[in-house]
Amino acid sequence: MAKCEEGYLCEVCGQEVADLTESDLYLRFVIGMLDPETLHTSPERHIRCNPVLAQFIVADDFPPVTIEGPFAKTLLDPAFVREREELVTRGWRRLQELSGVADMAITEYPLPEVCESLRSRAKGQ
């Protein structure tokens, strides 16, 4: 298969990230961790291949990810963990919504507050 036909390959496991709902790249974009200008040059991973971020998804339909070590959420400030869980889970749910949408501009993918921040930043340039 030609390189352009392979799709996005996970930099961790090497397998194709076949769906938006599995994309760590787009999750980070949706929650504002990734600037839209670098989206096309940033590496792709499956959400589960980035356990440091995946551990913050708290949803019945997402099996929990638990990690050990200095980045484990059990070792972090509880207020930070609550905020991060809320944000990352909302972002993950947004990816689920987007998977069925065919005609939306990529600039509309992020969460509302991220879209607003991007618009404000663009006006300030």
| Global pTM value | 0.89
Residue 1: band (very low, low, confident or very high) from pLDDT cuts 50, 70, 90: very low
Phi, psi of 46 (to 5 degrees): -70, 150
Over residues 93-118, the mean pLDDT reads 91
| Residue 1: other Cβ atoms inside 10 A | 6
Range of the domain at 118: 3-123
Residue 122 has pLDDT above 90, yes or no: no
Query: What is the pLDDT confidence band of residue 100, given thresholds at 50, 70 and 90?
Result: confident
Q: How many domains are there within the chain? A: 1
CB of 32 closer than 8 Å to CB of 84: no
Q: How far is CA 53 from CA 23, 39, 48, in A?
A: 12, 17, 8
The string of pLDDT tens digits covering residues 28-70 is 999 999 988 898 899 999 999 999 999 999 999 999 999 999 9
Share of residues in the chain with pLDDT > 90 (%): 73
